[in-house]
Structure 1
Amino acid sequence: MQIKQRCASLLLALCALGWSVHAPAQQSQAPGLQGKLASALSGTKEEALLEPDEAFKLKVSAKSGGTVTAELVPANGYYLYKERIRFTLKSGDAAIRAVKLPAGELKNDLILGRTEVYKKAVPVEISLDKGTKGKAVTLVASYQGCQEKLGVCYPPIEKSVNLVLP
């Protein structure tokens, strides 16, 4: 059990710094570091780590009046760091005026200390500059989260969504 906790703490520290661990593109005789860590950290199939897109889902829609709504949904047993959620516009003539996030649940984190996290769906309201009607924009969402039971954190995730504002 001590080895699992040390591996999880090491992976958490690397992910908090923005590092990621990748398995080799082709399977070789010796499994990659990611495979070894996953094997060491998961004792049963129920504890296996989900792929990032399954662990943290993103839904985005454009609303009238220069508002975009987003919803970040962590899978059961996963959480998102509030301070790691960011939204930017990559293209288009619009700019973000404000991003409204609800209050999160306080957690004592090994790396970040006392911080807010979300264990349930997170509704986000993004207000854009006036005069955005009919404009095409690319919204970029970035976020980071962890699997609660194993204490394993994922590298930061970045998703781009193309929208035409009504």
Structure 2
Amino acid sequence: MYGVHSQHPGRYLRSSPRCGLLKWVTDVPSLRAFTTITALVLALCTNVCAALTSETDSVKTLQKLLGQDANERTFLDPDTAFHLTIEPISDNQLRAVFQIANGYYLYRHKIRFESMDASSPLGQYNLPPGETQDDEYFGRVAIYPRDVAVNLPLLNQSPVERVVIKASYQGCAKKGICYSPIEKIIPVVFNNT
């Protein structure tokens, strides 16, 4: 056990030999050494904390330089950035409309439509030309930085009540991220009354 021993001048604490602990000697020089070491450790911890804060401040500064606020969500989710609707415009024609958020764009060559119903396959459709851009990954490509509409002809023999379209597309934010390819299954209901 720890205890005070008056028979050994300069020693204030010792451990019990039965516990197998080392003696803790706290004479005045040892107390000074302990105090000095403690002060050094505290100073080191203060420097480490200051460095971490400085590093965090550096990241915040970089985000501000890039026009990004660390406290706000920087990028839209893909359904908001590239909102797709498909509606019938006649018994054998659909219109797909991408509403593209400001600061985002779709790759023209990544847009695909396919009918999931064998009784109503899609005919050939034409995508608008788009704007040309030199892309880091795809080279010179056409993009849609604004809303775009595509007419989709159906090759059905008779009017249908419903058709299911699979749409595939991919786009990016101009601030520097590209989304993974997106695939949507969209049921389209005709009002044949």
Q: After TM superposition, is the score higher than 0.5?
A: yes
- Give the letter for the 1:161 counterpart: I
Which of residues 148, 154, 161 in structure 1 aligns to 2:179?
154
Q: How does 1:47-126 map to 2 (within 5 A)?
A: 48-126=74-152
User: Residue 128 of structure 1: CA displacement?
Assistant: 1.0
Compute the TM-score of the two structures, normalised by the length of structure 2.
0.60
Tell me if 1:145 matches 2:152.
no
- Give the letter for the 1:60 counterpart: I
> Structure 2 CA distance, aligned partners of 1:104 and 1:132?
34
Aligned length: 127
Runs of 4+ in 1 over 6 A off after TM superposition: none
Please, what is the CA RMSD of the aligned residues?
Answer: 2.2
User: Residue 69 of structure 1: CA displacement?
Assistant: 0.2
For structure 1, list consecutive stretches of 5 or more residues without a partner in the other structure. 1-39
> Structure 1 CA distance, aligned partners of 2:167 and 2:98?
10
- Structure 1 or 2: larger strand share? 1
Q: Is the 8 A contact 1:80 1:146 kept in 2?
A: yes
User: Residue 135 of structure 1: CA displacement?
Assistant: 3.9
Q: Deviations over 1:102-156 (max 9, x none)?
A: 110000000000000000001100011042412421111110000012x210001
> Structure 2 CA distance, aligned partners of 1:59 and 1:127?
16
Q: Deviations over 1:43-86 (max 9, x none)?
A: 31567011111111001101214000010121100000000000
Q: Deviations over 1:2-29 (max 9, x none)?
A: xxxxxxxxxxxxxxxxxxxxxxxxxxxx
Secondary structure at the aligned position of 2:124 is classed as strand
Q: Which residue number corresponds to residue 44 of structure 2?
A: none
Larger radius of gyration: 2
Q: Is the 8 A contact 1:137 1:163 kept in 2?
A: yes
- Once the two structures are aligned, what percentage of the paired residues are identical? 37
